[in-house]
Every structure is written in structure tokens, then in C-alpha cells.
Structure 1
Amino acid sequence: MKEASLVVVFISNGPGELATWVKPLAEKLHTKLLMQPKAKYSPVSLRLVLVPCPNATGNETKAARKWGDFEQITPPTNFWKLLLCPQKYGIWPNKGLVVFLGGDQFWSVLLSARLGYRHLTYAEWVARWPQWNDKIAAMSTKVMKRLPKRYRSRCTVVGDLMADLNNHAKEEQPLSKGTWVALMPGSKKAKLSVGVPFFLEVADILSTIIPECNFLLPIAPTTNIIEIQKFVSSNNPIASQYNTSIKTIAPQDKSNNLRKLITKQGTEIYLHEDPPAHNPLSQCHLALTTVGANTAELGALAVPMIVIVPTQHLYVMQAWDGVLGLIGRIPGLRRCIGLLISIWRMRKKGFLAWPNISAGRTIVPERVGIITPKEIATEAAQWLQSPERLKGQKEDLQNLRGKPGAVEAMSQEVIKLLPKSLIKL
């Protein structure tokens, strides 16, 4: 492969950002610029640098490699080494662009300064270092208004990158007819250890209330079905507190090419093992989900949801964001501190789901507390039996996201910062 004379570097962190920001933009740029590694003789290559983040699972590098979009991927464990000695991690041309797409914005500031590259930040809520950005691509006008006036000329509102998810989802095959419920227990071990047994028991109960229900379990890119099985086995102490287990994993169903997880009660749950699952998710009538990027993704797809945080297992819920998440992982004190942090977070009267945070009001129900699978199954049945309620929540989610086109607009901002002499459009 011919050595590229220009590098575009994406900086990101967790599974949510990779699936909903990084992948769509990477695919768009490959279409527009014919970059390496897909185009072997292109003067432009696309690379991914993953940064340290408490919300990461550790499997992001493996997930991103499957896409084949990046000439080089630097795992978060090598980030500081890359800063200190870039030449040990490949040849870095004199010209390039660093694009922030998740994590702490300061990491992209450091890397762009170290490499001597131009710098573009996608700002969802706030641009924290405008003085060190060549350009800021904002999700909304609110981001621009928060900037000091002297930096607003550097900012362009491109829109919400997730608003394009529904358009991409429509390109694939439809699910079979019927009522579909998505089960989204999370992507991190702390959430999965609670979510998998909890959600499987919900499915068992809900299938007795509404026998015609179909269930879909999208497997996150940072886990797999083998790990899912472990979370409902004796390897997970929490599993014993729930009346469910996995009987078998059935071969692919001819109607949709999806394997099935069958519980000991006989509930059939279709497995989507090729993330992202935007197409099948967009067709679901309701989703049951944990907090996190799932709520933003479902909101972008306008899928009605119930957000669930069972607090009876607080001592394992160390998957909080930012500094709190880091403190909750201190060895030796992990259990005690994790419990105290989680209790404190639960008592804060703030929203946990992205749609509610964004709207500043309740769009989707958040069920936080000592809750049981039976309670959630009963509530889910009530929603499914009330089409007007589902329609109302769906419309609220659609209105919240805004118009599609942000990925296209973001790609244009990237191209504007590249040397015109090195690219052919």
C-alpha cells in the first residue's frame, strides 16, 4: 500500500460513540475521499485513536477493526505512549487533521498539538477548548451561544449525527410481522451482570401476558453471546436472584437469519449479532433499556422505551460517567465507594436518559429503584396495549432529534480543513 501524504485521525472512546458517530462519518468520508485502507493508492488515510475512558469496555479496538474503515487503530492503553513517541506507532505525515468524536475533548487537543495537525471538534453540548480548535462542528445553536463571542466564527452548526441513523436503518430488510420488543441490557460488565438476568426474566413474564410478543436482543459490539450466557450462569452471583436461565441457542431462523436464545421457560429471543442493529431496532414497538448511549441511540431511531435501573444491585453498578466512575473502581475500596456513589447518584433529582436530559422534561419513563421484572413486564404490556401512548412518545422522540443531514454536513467540515492540493473530489 502506498504511503499516505495526509492523515485524518478520529479520536473516540466508548461503544456508543463508535457506532453512532465514528462509523457513519468514516463511511461517508470513504465515499467522498476514497481513503486508505479501502483505496490502496489514495493520498489520504483514515486512522482511529481510542482514548482512556471510564465508560469504555476494553473491546472497542476489536469492534472497530471488524469494520475495515481504518488503516490503523491505536488502543486506549497506548494513548500516552503515542503522545510521547508518535513515530513508534507508524509514519505520521506532516499534514493531517484530528477530529474529536467522543471522550474528553482535551485528549484531541493534546494529540493535534503533538502531531502538528489541524483540529476539528464535534461538540454535542459544549466546546471546551475553542481557542485550540481550527473549527467547531456543533450539534445545535445552543453550543454556539455558549462560546465566547470571539470564537463563534469558528463554529458551524451541523446538527445531530444520530439524526441520520433512521435513514440508514431503512436500507435493510424488515423484521417479520408482529409485536417486537427490544431488550438492551448494556455493553459493560457491570450493567450486563444485572441487566441480562433481569431482562430475560422480564421477557419470560411479558411473553405470558402477551404471547404474540417477539423479542430482539442486539448484542453490543463489545460483547458476544458466550459472555451473555455467562451472565445467566453460576459465574454471575446475581443470576441466582432471578428465575430465568438459558436453555439453548438455536440455529439461524430462515425467516430473518437470526439465531435464537431460548430460555428455560421457552421464551424465544432473537439475537442480532452484527452491530449496529439500527434496522431491526427501528422496527421495534418498544425497547427496554439501561441508561447510557442506548437511550441516545433509541431516541435517534424514535423507538419508544422504558429506561430501567434496578438499584437492589448498587454495589456492582460502577459504570457511571466521568470522575465518579473512576473513583468507584479504586481497588480494595471498590465495593464500598461504588455503593456510596451509586446511592448519591440515585438521590440526585436529575434525568438519566438522553431524551429527558435533552428535553429538560420527561419524554421516556425512567424506572429507578428496587424494581422487579414483574413490575417492568406489567408496565411494558400496558404500553404495548396502548398504541396511542406509543405513538405519542415516538413523535416526541422524532421532534427532539431534528432533521437528518448532519453526517453529510460534518464530512464537508472535515474536507474544508484538508489541503486542497492533496485531495481529489
Structure 2
Amino acid sequence: MRVSLLTNGPGELWGWVRPVAMELRRRGHSVSLWLLPCPFASGHEREAASLLGIDKLEGPSGGPDLWRAMADERTECVIQLGGDMMFGARIARSARAPLLCYTYGPKKGLKGARVFTAFPSQARAIPGARAIGDLVKDALLLDAAQPPERGCPTLPQEAPGREWAHPKEGFRVLFLPGSRPSIRHAALPWLAAARAALRVRLPRAEVRTLFPPFVPEAELREWDDAGLRPVRAPAGLVMRDADFALTQPGTNNFELMHCGVPSLVVAPESFLDLIPIAGLRGVLASLPLVGRGLRRAAAQRILNRWNGVIALPNRLTDRRVMDELYGDVTPEQTASRIAEDLSDAGGLARAREELLALSGQSGAAARLCDAIPAEDGAA
């Protein structure tokens, strides 16, 4: 069977598409992948996608050429794994193929699609959705497979080495600066200041900074020069070695949850101008006089929708399973909160327990592929 996958951002590509593409290939299906326009893109999506062993790769591109090319796609099933649903509907309608969608939350254009999500609480918020588990957990298991599972795409090796020696009477703290170059650029001095402040409070704490695939070597050297010890390696290996993590809102919140890593999720107000916004609002948000107000309003709407929480695991439970800070947050305040969290051994143990309890079962990719209608039209 020919199956078309659609995706957009780096988290969806490596965390969702990768396990689904591998499962489809294992079942003998032909797989094409469309990389959609995305304001959150890292710029390295095509390079990463080329490792997936798919039969056809399109994009990233936009405009009339993309729209016309989608009308010519010949496929028997469309699976949307991120991005605007109008693209999946375009291919499905032209090819007269069923449309499946995996999403963490409600979005426009789901009518007419079979919808799947990760967790029961998410399914309750999406009409007609079925919870099948988190694809990100499947991706982490691919990372941790030793030796790597046959056909599993691997990442470029990190520099410097991944191994951590457990510091005596200290902690292993993992920083995650994200996949977007503009935010990483701003985060470097901010995280360097946080590390310096943390060393004052916890001199024996050892910090590593985890990078996504295909970050240039020159950028890694900048982070190494700043004392932030960059590591470019599969998340499923590095995260499990950490005692604690400092991160921002995003897919890696679920990665840390599945690995049982107590974490502090931080969203400093000073980074607000660097967060991309899709569509017309994104164009307006780029204007110098009105942009910041629009971004503040968008951020407040998100907080109101989720009862004032920003960490993804906290949204599943409406309570703080992960610690979080947002607003006018400084590196020094962040370091103080990390030191405070690490001083509470009981709290760390409870956080690990709760995070792993939320993780759920693996096998989401297999369950999603099981839902593909058979070629004769039977479900």
C-alpha cells in the first residue's frame, strides 16, 4: 500500500513521523513524506527526513507549486502528523484516499478525518478522537535500542562525548535550548548566566546541554566555549542519564516525562519576541509597534486556556507534575529554583513516579498503522 505522511516542525518529524515511517516500512508499505511550511522549522528538516528511508520526499516548500503537486499525489492513505489540515485534505480528496490525523489537541479541519491522539485527557478535548499512546515514547525507545533496531535511522554523533560521570555529592543537570536557531542564539548567554548562578549554589552540579540533530559544529563550539558542554545525541539516551532538566515548553516536555526526569519548564518574557506565530497573526506580530502586544495577548490566551500552566505534562493533569516559571524570569531566579528543587529528595522521587505513571504504554505507531483501512476498503 502507498501511504502519504505530512508533517511540519522538527518535533513532529523526529518524534512522530520517525516511528510511524519505520512501522510502515516494516509492514511493507511504500511511504512518501511531505514537509509542510512551518514557522517553527529549524531549517534542517529535509536533512533529518532523508535518514528515514522513505520512498519519496517532498518539501519543505509552499505556495502554488506545493498545492499543485499535492493534487498529483497518488496514494491509498494519508496520515497527517502536524501542520495545517488543508494540506492533508487536499491530497486525500484528489487521491480519494482516507485521511487519518494524529494531534495533541483540537485544530481546524479535523472534520472528515479519523483522529488519534496520545492521552485520554486529550481525547476528551477532541470530538471523536481515540487515544492510542504517545508516538514520542516510541521514538525514545528507538533511540535507546542497543544495538539499534534494524532500519532505525540514527543521528550524527555528538561532540563532545555523551557519557556523564556521576559527580560525587552532586547532580547531573540537563539544559535543553530547543530546535529553533533564533531562540538558541538568545538562550546561549541566558543559560550561561543560569549555569554560573547554579555553580554558586551547587558547586558539584554538572551541566550538559542537549541539542537536536544537525546543529552545526560551529554552534556547538560556541556553547562549549561558554562552558555549557554541548551534547548532540539521541534524546532517549541522554535524558535517562539526567537527574534534572531545565527546558522550555514543547515536545521535549513529553520526552522528559517518558524518561522520568524531574524538570523545570521556563518561559522568560524576554524571549517573547522570538516565538513565531503562524498565519496572518504572525505577519502582524512582526510589526514593530503592535507585534509585542499581539504576542503578549497570544501568550495570555494560551495560559487562560490551560489554567495558567505551560508544561505539557501539567496540562494533562491540571497540576504541577513538572515545576515551571514564566514571566519576568531571570537566570538567577531560575538557578535558585533548580537548586531548591534538587534539595528536595522526596519531591524529586515523587516527580519521577508521577511522570512515569503518566507516560502510558508504548506501541502508538503500531496502533496508528493498524487503523489504516485495508486496500479492499475493510477497516
Question: So what's the TM-score if we normalise by structure 1?
Answer: 0.73
The answer to whether residue 110 in structure 2 is matched with residue 136 in structure 1 is no
Query: Which of residues 174, 177, 198 in structure 2 aligns to 1:182?
Result: 174
Paired residue for 1:242?
none
Distance 2:326 2:237 in 1: 29
Paired residue for 1:249?
none
Distance 2:364 2:189 in 1: 37
Distance 1:342 1:393 in 2: 32
> Which string of whole-angstrom CA distances, capped at 9 and with x for unpartnered residues, describes residues 243-291 of structure 1?
xxx5xxxxxxxxxxxxxx243xxx4x443324x4221112211111122
What amino acid does structure 2 have at the position aligned with 1:76?
P
Paired residue for 2:15?
20
In structure 1, the residue corresponding to 2:42 is in which secondary structure? coil
Paired residue for 1:285?
243
What amino acid does structure 1 have at the position aligned with 2:232?
E
Paired residue for 2:68?
84
1:228–1:308 CA distance, 2 compared to 1 (3 A): farther
Query: Which of residues 175, 186, 211 in structure 2 aligns to 1:194?
Result: 186
In structure 2, the residue corresponding to 1:280 is in which secondary structure? helix
Distance 2:293 2:274 in 1: 11
Paired residue for 1:297?
255
1:166–1:344 CA distance, 2 compared to 1 (3 A): same
Paired residue for 1:397?
355
The answer to whether residue 91 in structure 2 is matched with residue 111 in structure 1 is yes
Distance 1:387 1:157 in 2: 33
The answer to whether residue 45 in structure 2 is matched with residue 60 in structure 1 is yes
Paired residue for 2:59?
75
Paired residue for 2:205?
213
Distance 1:142 1:371 in 2: 30
The answer to whether residue 276 in structure 2 is matched with residue 319 in structure 1 is yes
1:405–1:342 CA distance, 2 compared to 1 (3 A): same
The answer to whether residue 106 in structure 2 is matched with residue 121 in structure 1 is no
Paired residue for 1:158?
132
- Structure 1 or 2, whichever has the larger Rg, is 1
> Which string of whole-angstrom CA distances, capped at 9 and with x for unpartnered residues, describes residues 111-163 of structure 1?
21123332211233337545523x33343445655676xxx5xx654222223
Distance 1:162 1:116 in 2: 30
Distance 1:409 1:79 in 2: 34
Query: Which of residues 387, 406, 412 in structure 1 aligns to 2:345?
Result: 387
1:391–1:170 CA distance, 2 compared to 1 (3 A): farther
- Residue 167 of structure 1: how far off its partner (Å): 3.8
- Residue 402 of structure 1: how far off its partner (Å): 1.9
Checking the alignment, whether the CA contact within 8 Å between 2:71 and 2:91 is kept in structure 1 is: no
Checking the alignment, whether the CA contact within 8 Å between 1:168 and 1:279 is kept in structure 2 is: no
- Residue 9 of structure 1: how far off its partner (Å): 1.1
The answer to whether residue 14 in structure 2 is matched with residue 7 in structure 1 is no
Checking the alignment, whether the CA contact within 8 Å between 2:121 and 2:316 is kept in structure 1 is: no
In structure 2, the residue corresponding to 1:379 is in which secondary structure? helix
1:210–1:49 CA distance, 2 compared to 1 (3 A): same
Paired residue for 2:159?
none
- Residue 110 of structure 1: how far off its partner (Å): 1.6
> Which string of whole-angstrom CA distances, capped at 9 and with x for unpartnered residues, describes residues 285-316 of structure 1?
111112222223322332211112222354x3
Runs (5+) with no aligned partner, structure 2: 148-161
- Residue 23 of structure 1: how far off its partner (Å): 0.8
Distance 2:209 2:268 in 1: 19
Checking the alignment, whether the CA contact within 8 Å between 2:266 and 2:326 is kept in structure 1 is: yes
Paired residue for 2:328?
370
1:367–1:23 CA distance, 2 compared to 1 (3 A): same
Q: How much is the aligned-residue C-alpha RMSD, in angstroms?
A: 3.0
> Which string of whole-angstrom CA distances, capped at 9 and with x for unpartnered residues, describes residues 176-200 of structure 1?
4413211111221332232121112
Distance 1:156 1:345 in 2: 28
1:147–1:380 CA distance, 2 compared to 1 (3 A): closer
Paired residue for 1:339?
292
1:244-263 aligned within 5 A = 261-263=224-226
Distance 2:25 2:267 in 1: 39
What amino acid does structure 2 have at the position aligned with 1:63?
A
Identical-residue share of aligned pairs (%): 23
Checking the alignment, whether the CA contact within 8 Å between 1:83 and 1:111 is kept in structure 2 is: no
In structure 2, the residue corresponding to 1:57 is in which secondary structure? coil
In structure 1, the residue corresponding to 2:290 is in which secondary structure? helix
The answer to whether residue 215 in structure 2 is matched with residue 223 in structure 1 is yes
Checking the alignment, whether the CA contact within 8 Å between 2:260 and 2:355 is kept in structure 1 is: yes
Distance 1:80 1:401 in 2: 41
Q: How many residues align?
A: 354
Checking the alignment, whether the CA contact within 8 Å between 2:244 and 2:262 is kept in structure 1 is: yes
In structure 1, the residue corresponding to 2:261 is in which secondary structure? coil
